[in-house]
Amino acid sequence: MTAMRQIQYREALNEAMCEEMVRDERVFLMGEEVAEYNGAYKVSQGMLDQFGARRVVDSPISETGFSGLGIGAAMYGLRPIIEFMSWSFCLVAADQIINNAPKMLYMSGGQFPVPIVFRGNNGAGGQLGSTHSWSVESMFASVPGLKMAIPSTPYDAKGLLKTAIRDDDPVFFLESERLLGFRGPVPPPEEDFTIPFGQADVKLPGSDCTVVALGRPVHFALQAAVELAKEGIFCEVIDPRTVRPLDIDTIVASVRKTNYLVIVDQTWPFASVAAEIAMQVYERAMDDLDNKIVRVNNEDVPAPYNRAMEQEMLPNVRKICEAVRAVTYAA
């Protein structure tokens, strides 16, 4: 294996799209400001120059229109990548993305697969107020027919996005604006690597408490693990990377080892991904738990604008440390 490079999360996304567009003529990118502006967040930097306006398409601000367009084009045999500048903006396209895309194959008796990727920034950006701070994973993960990936590192971003584009089913690909500039090791371009869906990654091995986290909060969990290690509590941090499919087996295996579980989830607690993971662990490993499962979710309020309030509303390092201490009786 050739040496890894350190590249940004946004560069990893860009490489994944470019490589797949070179590989498959049917793949195209459409979204607001993806072409001439080079991406509102520079994720599609240079793609218009490389692929031209036929395959890198600036759409007007019409989420219903262009997300539905992508679904129709996918039914016809193309493989669209539809970028939402923010997943917060996908809500106006809900009928298209959760009523049409994930149900088309089933309703047509298997006649019309919808190989499409919806991707964009997910989660609170930084004092954007409640309408622009959506984390959509809990709301959408309950819909059968779609797949969902939430990469937390440049490596995962590239490997999972390439898999998403090659997948024959609709994939909701949830990126993080706060991670776009984050650097990490990624294999060189000549190495065609992909990451299969449904395989969790143990971001940090540990013996004392399992901490499951997805997306940006994975980094909070890793920081918390550093703090807790100073206290002699060694966390095993697991990133499921995809929610549909969910690799519950890796989580359960870890819980069988540590006997404690904290789940970190940047959505509201009620009917959340964290609640689902907790339930699935209870179903499989109730007797292996030495305490109840503790969740660190968003507080159950709309995202506030005020900086201190926003930070306190989201999962953070302090809350995760408190949760781990409490669940392991070290509090």
Partner 1 sequence: MTTVTSQNKAARLSDSLDAQALLGMLSQMMAIRRFEERCAQSYQQAKIGGFCHLYIGQEAVAVGSVAGLQPGDPIITSYRDHGHALARGMHPNYAMAELFGKVTGCSKGKGGSMHFFDKPRHMYGGHAIVGGQCPLGVGLAFAIQYLKEPKVCACFLGDGALNQGAFHESMNLAAIWNLPIIFVVENNSYSMGTHIARGTAGAEDLSVKATAYGMRFARCDGMDVLAVYDCFKGLGDAIRSGQSGPVFVDCQTYRYKGHSMSDPQKYRTKDEVTTFEERDPINRLVNSLVESGRATQEQVDELDNQAKRQALDAVKYANESPEPDVQEEMFTDVYSQPYGPYKLGQLPIMLTDSEEGQST
Chosen residue from 1, 54, 230, 287 binding partner 1 by CB under 8 A: 54
Of the candidate spans 71-79, 181-189, 229-237, 313-321, the one that interacts with partner 1 by CB under 8 A turns out to be 71-79
- Structure tokens belonging to residue 227: 């703090």
Q: Cβ 250 to partner 1, closest distance in Å?
A: 14
Q: Would you put residue 214 in left (φ > 0), alpha (ψ -120 to 50) or beta?
A: beta
8 A C-beta contact, residue 220 and residue 152? no
DSSP structural state of residue 304 = P
240 counts as binding partner 1 under rule CB under 8 A: no
Chosen residue from 4, 33, 40, 145 binding partner 1 by CB under 8 A: 145
159 counts as binding partner 1 under rule CB under 8 A: no
77 counts as binding partner 1 under rule CB under 8 A: yes
Chosen residue from 1, 2, 76, 286 binding partner 1 by CB under 8 A: 76
15, 63, 83, 236: the active-site residue: 63
8 A C-beta contact, residue 154 and residue 160? no
8 A C-beta contact, residue 162 and residue 197? no
Residues 6+ apart with CB under 8 A from 107: none
Our answer to whether residue 32 is catalytic in this structure is no
Q: Is 184 helix (H, G, I), strand (E, B) or coil?
A: strand
Q: Cβ 44 to partner 1, closest distance in Å?
A: 18
Site for partner 1 in 100-119 (CB under 8 A): 100, 104-113, 115
- Which residue in this structure is represented by tokens 């090791």? 185
- Which residue in this structure is represented by tokens 């622009």? 132
Q: Cβ 211 to partner 1, closest distance in Å?
A: 24
Nearer to partner 1 among residue 167 and residue 227 (C-beta): 167
Count of residues touching partner 1 (by CB under 8 A): 46
144 counts as binding partner 1 under rule CB under 8 A: yes
8 A C-beta contact, residue 97 and residue 90? yes
Cα–Cα separations (whole angstroms), residue 203 to 55, 162, 297: 36, 21, 20
DSSP structural state of residue 54 = T
68 counts as binding partner 1 under rule CB under 8 A: yes
Distance CA 219, CA 120 (A): 19
Our answer to whether residue 132 is catalytic in this structure is yes
Q: Which residues are catalytic?
A: 63, 132
Residues that bind partner 1 (CB under 8 A): 28, 54, 59-60, 62, 64-78, 80, 92, 95-96, 99-100, 104-113, 115, 144-145, 147, 167-169, 197-198, 245
